[in-house]
Amino acid sequence: MKITMAHGSGGKSSAQLMKDIFGKHFRNDVLDKMEDAAVLSLPASDESTADGSAVARIACSTDSFVVTPLVFKGGDIGKLCVCGTVNDLLMMGAVPKYLTCGFIMEEGLDTDLLDQLVGSMAAQAREAGVIIAAGDTKVVEGNGGLYINTTGIGLIPEGRDVSSSNCRAGDVILCSGNLGDHHACILSHRMEIENDITSDCAALNDIVDALFDAGIDVRTMRDVTRGGLGTVINEIAGSSACKIELDEDSIPVSPQVKGFSDILGLDPLYMGNEGKMIAVVPEAQAEAALAAMRSAEHGKDAVMIGRVLEGEGAFIKTRLGATRRFDVLYGEGLPRIC
């Protein structure tokens, strides 16, 4: 088999590649959990605990960014490479602290553009409260392209237990806002279609802080990136061994993105985002959690989109009252949007 673009889609092909090659060689208890970020337990330093018996937990995640074009409406690869990794840490309940970055630059890359992109990265790092602590550059033959890898480390405060496997029947699914903006924005750039669709690229510290500050017992958080909501919901239903039912009418999509995706035959359920998340919380805290999310700038359009039930699989209740099952993304979706 040869690698094809479908292996980079974040859907079924990507998952199969992880399992067949990386999972086979890298098996360990940490990686096998397949979360957004690894949670590592370390012996606490003597200064932080009196008896040295407690452990501190850190979250660690890495992500590579290959988006084209490098600059798009609402962001650029510099901003994106901070947001993507910071969000992965946040989704484990961690407070992001440090990032490393690796730049692979193709010859011909304009240094003024590079300066702009690194400036954007620095500004986003300040906003997200992370320090860029180490970095590396390499130059390869090519045509002015740029790829960036970032690795992040965050600290998980005591008492937080967030995982894809924590959902249980009776919980509700909250979504932080409109889906498909980033995907539609990048595709518009590539197809040279003029519209006002702007990428949602953002670090979601404000939403996550608001949820924990409000004392919400957050079960699961996931940023809805490659593969879209459809893939994320299936993964959560699988990890938590539960059934999830979404309400089609409540899944938020802007009229612009809906029109755009209708014309191109895309389904917002499988479109990628870079500044949207879902949170799964107990039903009793649904209103409080929604209020907390809406108090944050990036969560002001938060809505409840579904419920966790006994059973298995991912389902949608359609606008006209039918129920259908849905699966993860198969095939390519759109390559290289993040």
- Least spacing, CB of residue 2 vs other proteins, in Å: 3
Edge-to-edge strand order for the sheet containing 55-65? 38-43, 55-65, 146-156, 95-106, 131-140
Q: How many whole angstroms separate alpha carbon 68 and alpha carbon 62?
A: 20
Residue 324 touching other proteins (CB under 8 A): yes
Binding mask 299-318 for other proteins (x = CB under 8 A): --------------x--x-x
Q: How many whole angstroms separate alpha carbon 175 and alpha carbon 278?
A: 4
- Kindly report the backbone phi and psi dihedral angles of residue 216, in degrees, each rounded to the nearest multiple of 5, phi listed first: -75, 140
- Least spacing, CB of residue 77 vs other proteins, in Å: 22
Residue 12 touching other proteins (CB under 8 A): yes
Q: Which of 19, 300, 325, 336 binds other proteins (CB under 8 A)?
A: 325
- Least spacing, CB of residue 7 vs other proteins, in Å: 9
Q: Hey, is 227 helix, strand or coil?
A: coil
Q: Which is nearer to other proteins, 16 or 256 (CB)?
A: 16
- Least spacing, CB of residue 58 vs other proteins, in Å: 36
Piece of the chain touching other proteins by CB under 8 A; list 67-75, 133-141, 196-204, 325-333: 325-333
- Least spacing, CB of residue 29 vs other proteins, in Å: 28
Other beta carbons less than 10 A from residue 17's beta carbon? 16
- Least spacing, CB of residue 152 vs other proteins, in Å: 31
Q: Which of 90, 305, 319, 338 binds other proteins (CB under 8 A)?
A: 319
The size of the chain, in residues, is 338
Q: Which of 5, 30, 31, 122 binds other proteins (CB under 8 A)?
A: 5
Q: Which of 136, 140, 330, 336 binds other proteins (CB under 8 A)?
A: 330
Residue 194 touching other proteins (CB under 8 A): no
Q: How many helices (H) and strands (E) does the chain have?
A: 9, 14
Q: How many whole angstroms separate alpha carbon 260 and alpha carbon 68?
A: 19
Give the count of residues interacting with other proteins (CB under 8 A).
Answer: 27
Residues 6+ apart with CB under 8 A from 308: 167, 168, 169, 170, 171, 172, 173, 240, 242, 243, 244, 280
Binding mask 251-290 for other proteins (x = CB under 8 A): --------------x-x-----------------------
Binding mask 197-216 for other proteins (x = CB under 8 A): --------------------
Question: Would you list the DSSP string of 182-220?
Answer: HHHHHHHHHHT------------HHHHHHHHHTT----E
- Least spacing, CB of residue 4 vs other proteins, in Å: 5
- Least spacing, CB of residue 332 vs other proteins, in Å: 6
- Least spacing, CB of residue 266 vs other proteins, in Å: 10
Token couple for 196: 């006002």
Beta-bridged to residue 251, according to DSSP, are none
Residues 6+ apart with CB under 8 A from 179: 224, 228, 229, 251, 252, 253, 257, 268, 269, 271, 273, 276
Nearest to 230 by CA among 167, 286, 302, 305: 305
Q: Which is nearer to other proteins, 102 or 335 (CB)?
A: 335
Residue 3 touching other proteins (CB under 8 A): yes
- Residue 294's H or E segment, with its range, is helix 286-295
Residues forming the site for other proteins (CB under 8 A):
2-6, 12-13, 16, 190-191, 265, 267, 313, 316, 318-327, 330-332
